[in-house]
Structure 1
Amino acid sequence: MRICMVCPSYPPQDVTCGVGDYTRCLAEELVRQGEQVTVVTSTGYRGDSGGAVRVLPLISKWSAAAGWKLLRSRPDPPPDMIHMQYTPDLYGRRAGFVLLPLMARFVPPRTPVIVTFHTLIGGGLWSKVMAPWLLLTADRSISANEEVSDLIHRHLPALESRVTEIGIGSNIQVSAAGRDTVRRSERARLGLPDRAPVLAHFGLVYPGKGLETVFRALPAILREHPLARLVVVGDTRSEDRSYRESLDRLAREKEIAHAVLWTGRVSSEAVSSLLAAADLFVAPYDAGGTARRGSLMAGLAHGLPVVTTASPVPSSPLRDGANAALVPPGDADALAKRVCALLASDDERARLRAGALALAEQFSWPAIARRTRALYAQARQS
């Protein structure tokens, strides 16, 4: 099958984007499963155009005219499927490109359009119009997580039958080297003794991730485990620099700065090595841990016992004590107690590790690609 993926933020670009990472992982896995994939992206793309996945950095402004031109200039033979990625701000404010599914109905040969919704609505009124419009005009829609599915169920129930939930996977490939080998070498590089408990937090550093809760929990953790260290794996965007500075002040105030290691932006391979060096993955998100969190999925994929917050969505795949340890958001005391209890129990960590790996298998890229291909087949038949 010939598939045209549409994503303005396909990597590598100047700005890190989880949707772009998702698109790359899915496109590469679809190719491994025998499909032909071309990605249409923004002119800011910094990579090669060749390779197993063909990349076309064609569009500078994601307007209705750009969508029309894309449909009219399709190669011969044309794609069998167009697959758009969507978040409210991905195509720019009031982006006319969202008319693409409707326009595709009137440009022969008729090509089905599937839209993946990574988030449904943003802060502006326009996003509240775009999402229902795309759900109505797309041939099929994919919800990338339980939060989107829940919003559609509660607010757009008449459109729910048009949507299939297919979750996202981790964009960090687990190192092919043995975990124990990587763990020892990475700890040696960081100057950490093998017996030191290591807590990992991964992802862009910005408000809502619960890092301040982790910082407030660290003094109690250090009283029981003086060698414990928190490794914060990820970069800080310029607009969030003041937040990072507030965390530095909090670390000095709580006298925990010596126990916090900041990596900054590192390669995917380095992320995998750092996660392999950890004992726990700690991510007490303010709004709850859900499957839309690519960083959380990376922790699960690396078999780490995950400490996070309960999701407000009943259909969340995270189950306390089975595949995650759940704590209330913003509760540093509860977080410290749960972390200390896990560090004290090899059996509990082993149980959560097994549950994490089992859950991660459901969100593996081969499984995601197979479900996506099945939806492509349904869209073509109808």
Structure 2
Amino acid sequence: MKICLISPHFPPMSYPCGASHFASMYAKNLADAGHEVTVLTSNTSSTENQESFKVKIIPGNWNLSHVLKVSKFLNSEGFDLFDIQFETYMYGAKGGVLLLPYLVKNKIHPILTMHSEALPKFGGRLWRMIQYTAFKKVIFYSKAFQQNALNRFPKRKEDFYQLGFPSNISKVHYSELQKFTQKIKAKEFSNSPVAIYFGHINNNRGIEDLLFVVKKLKETGKEFKLILMSQFTPDKNQYHRDLLSEIDSLGIKENIAFTDRVDDELVSLFFQSADFAILPFTDGASFKNGSLATAVIHSLPMITTLNEKTETELQNCSGIKFYPTGDRAKLEEVLMEFFKDRSLWTTYSKEIEKLGHIYSWNNYIEVRNKIYGVT
């Protein structure tokens, strides 16, 4: 099948971007499954020569004239389908790309993959109507999001799919380095447990809540090391400087470490070295979260946030402990309970491992093939 993936964000990016990483991984896995794949992007830093798939760069800001150029390319290449990776901020909060189903030949099937519920800045809920009616298939990242769409368009039950995103980070297997990570986990160097935060270090990400509980647990003798794994540039970023000041004032400098931006292999090794992950998603844990997916494929117990969109499969996993977003007291309570019996952490890890099939690329491509109509 000849497939065009549309993603404005595509590697290399000047900042960490899960959507661009996903587009690259998805293109590679589709190509490995035997498809002829082209990624269409507006990122002029991208490289058109890829090992197993093509990249087409069409510079522009996704206004109507740019979308018309994109449609001209789609019509000229004989694609079987195009699949828009839609996150409104990637398109400059514009909705023009959603008009492509009306601009391409009927034989090219339009597919929409939703990366968030956010709508373009202008046009409001009119764009939601287009999302739900103009595309042959729509893929939602959460069951709650899918159900909201089905409530409005019940006749499209066969065309609306829910599929969580697989992990962008593969588990690496380097024997010597893994021996070292196992020693860290076995506490041969330090008896303090190691926790991982993996995500952007920005305001309103729950970072301050994590620092608060690190201090509170330290005061009770349940000390642990928190590694914040993300791009970290205090020389350029005021918020990052403020974090360092807060860490200093809380007296937890020895408990906090920043990795800055690291490559995928090191991310995997950090996860293999850690005892658990703390992921304070502001909108609750769900199949959308790439860092949660990474924790799952590394069988890492985790403490994360819960809301009405959190899938049942996650809620029922005993290896995941939940607290309400922003509730520091509850987070402290959950951690205190978590630390009561550290011998259970191995059991939690095995329970997390059972979720692995949800986040595997093999499973993802198998389901995608069915959605695309590949038998």
The 5 Å alignment of 1:218-257 reads 218-225=214-221, 228-236=224-232, 241-257=237-253
Identity %: 20
Secondary structure of 1:10's match?
coil
Q: What residue identity is the alignment partner of 1:217?
A: V
Q: What residue identity is the alignment partner of 1:134?
A: Q
Unpaired runs of at least 5, structure 1 = none
The 5 Å alignment of 1:44-55 reads 44-55=44-55
The 5 Å alignment of 1:254-333 reads 254-313=250-309, 315-319=311-315, 322-333=318-329
Secondary structure of 1:90's match?
helix
The 5 Å alignment of 1:57-206 reads 57-74=57-74, 78-104=78-104, 107=105, 110-122=107-119, 124-153=121-150, 162-177=159-174, 180-184=178-182, 193-206=189-202
Secondary structure of 1:59's match?
coil
Compared CA separation, residues 321 and 23, structure 1 to 2 (3 A): closer
Compared CA separation, residues 270 and 161, structure 1 to 2 (3 A): same
| Whole-angstrom CA distance in 2 between matches of 1:155 and 1:245 | 46
Q: Does 1:19 find its partner at 2:15?
A: no
Compared CA separation, residues 74 and 150, structure 1 to 2 (3 A): closer
Question: 1:265-300 CA distances to partner (integer Å, 9 max, x unpaired)?
Answer: 111111111111110101122332222111121111
Q: What residue identity is the alignment partner of 1:193?
A: F
Compared CA separation, residues 159 and 248, structure 1 to 2 (3 A): farther
With 362-371 and 141-150 compared, the bigger mean Cα shift is at: 141-150
Are the counterparts in 1 of residues 95 and 127 from structure 2 also a CA contact under 8 Å?
Answer: no
| Whole-angstrom CA distance in 2 between matches of 1:127 and 1:237 | 36
Question: 1:32-55 CA distances to partner (integer Å, 9 max, x unpaired)?
Answer: 211111101114233352310211
Secondary structure of 1:282's match?
strand
Are the counterparts in 2 of residues 64 and 98 from structure 1 also a CA contact under 8 Å?
Answer: no
| Whole-angstrom CA distance in 2 between matches of 1:154 and 1:241 | 43
Compared CA separation, residues 194 and 333, structure 1 to 2 (3 A): same
Compared CA separation, residues 279 and 121, structure 1 to 2 (3 A): same
1:155 is displaced (CA, Å) by: 6.1
Compared CA separation, residues 160 and 377, structure 1 to 2 (3 A): closer
Secondary structure of 2:167's match?
coil
Q: What residue identity is the alignment partner of 2:212?
A: R
Are the counterparts in 2 of residues 281 and 306 from structure 1 also a CA contact under 8 Å?
Answer: yes
Compared CA separation, residues 193 and 377, structure 1 to 2 (3 A): same
Structure 1 consecutive aligned stretches of length 4 or more whose deviation exceeds 6 Å: 185-188
Are the counterparts in 1 of residues 9 and 43 from structure 2 also a CA contact under 8 Å?
Answer: no
Q: Does 1:362 find its partner at 2:352?
A: no
Are the counterparts in 1 of residues 307 and 324 from structure 2 also a CA contact under 8 Å?
Answer: no
Are the counterparts in 2 of residues 145 and 168 from structure 1 also a CA contact under 8 Å?
Answer: no
| Whole-angstrom CA distance in 1 between matches of 2:75 and 2:327 | 56
| Whole-angstrom CA distance in 2 between matches of 1:24 and 1:90 | 15
Are the counterparts in 1 of residues 48 and 57 from structure 2 also a CA contact under 8 Å?
Answer: no
Are the counterparts in 1 of residues 111 and 137 from structure 2 also a CA contact under 8 Å?
Answer: yes
